[in-house]
Amino acid sequence: MNPKLHEQHEQFRVRKKHEKIYVFMTQVAILAAFISLWEIASRLNWIDPLIFSSPSSVWNLLVSMIADSSLYVHIGVTLVETIFGFLIGTLGGIAIAAFLWWSPFLSRVLDPYIVVLNATPKVALGPMLIVIFGANMTSVVAMAVLISIIVTTLVIYGAFRETDENLIKVVDTFGASKWQRFRHVIIPASYPAMVSALKVNVGLAWVGVIVGEYLVSNEGLGYLIIYGFQVFNFDMVMLSLVLVAILATIMYQAVAILEKFLMRNRH
């Protein structure tokens, strides 16, 4: 390369790197400013410290709950519920979609029911779940599943049906069975839709679990939020909120990395 170009390229790279650093530093600064402001506002009574708590008291509570290990149970319960809800909702939705694809008759029969179920706010069915599964973790997981499974079914079934007919024709000309058609064309063609359903469902599973815990649970972060609210312990509410935000983000990022991995051979 000619030296002048080389130099320009170097400048370009340095500039890009600096931009990246500035963005990151600004992000950190905003977070620090927010936390400090919150702390100051609370100490100086600009906001009611009983209701809005403060970073230091949230931190103290965190330390004490870690010390008496009560926090781990709640985090563990919520994580387990979310992971199960997420997996069952996603895999179940894909399974139902496969079933609908398999039987066009049934899919036409079930169509209006699915539309109604999809339109219904699933949270409204919460009391039903408690009656069916009892006031325990199963109900919470069921809530998470319910929220994600219908929409997963619709999205995946839609992807199945939108598969390029000519690709199906290719395997048909070789005399493919229905199973071969499904396995060699429908599934791989809908693969991107399934992978992106993962990402959507992580978010939905969190919604379902938190709502489920509001309704029935006596363990978990959602429960802590409601409990803290009832006993007027807003340190606990804030701590739980922050933990939910962090955990949900970590899980979402994990799925995003998984998505990248699963899509590494596609573009």
Q: What is the binding site for another protein (CB under 8 A)?
A: 164, 166-167, 169-176, 180, 184-185, 188-189, 191, 265-267
In angstroms, give the least distance from the CB of 252 to another protein.
26
Rounded CA gap, 258 and 86, in Å? 14
* CB nearer to another protein: pick between 9 and 169: 169
In angstroms, give the least distance from the CB of 174 to another protein.
4
Question: Of 212, 221, 247, nearest to 141 (Cα)?
Answer: 212
Tokens of 267: 């573009």
104 to 110, 139, 175, 207, 222: CA distances (angstroms): 10, 32, 20, 32, 41
Give the count of alpha carbons within 13 A of 27, CB side only: 6
In angstroms, give the least distance from the CB of 182 to another protein.
12
In angstroms, give the least distance from the CB of 198 to another protein.
18
* CB nearer to another protein: pick between 55 and 192: 192
* CB nearer to another protein: pick between 70 and 180: 180
* CB nearer to another protein: pick between 161 and 184: 184
* CB nearer to another protein: pick between 4 and 267: 267
Burial (CB < 10 A; 0-12, 13-18, 19+), residue 123, is middle
In angstroms, give the least distance from the CB of 176 to another protein.
5
In angstroms, give the least distance from the CB of 98 to another protein.
18
* CB nearer to another protein: pick between 121 and 175: 175
In angstroms, give the least distance from the CB of 217 to another protein.
42
In angstroms, give the least distance from the CB of 261 to another protein.
15
* CB nearer to another protein: pick between 10 and 164: 164
* CB nearer to another protein: pick between 15 and 169: 169
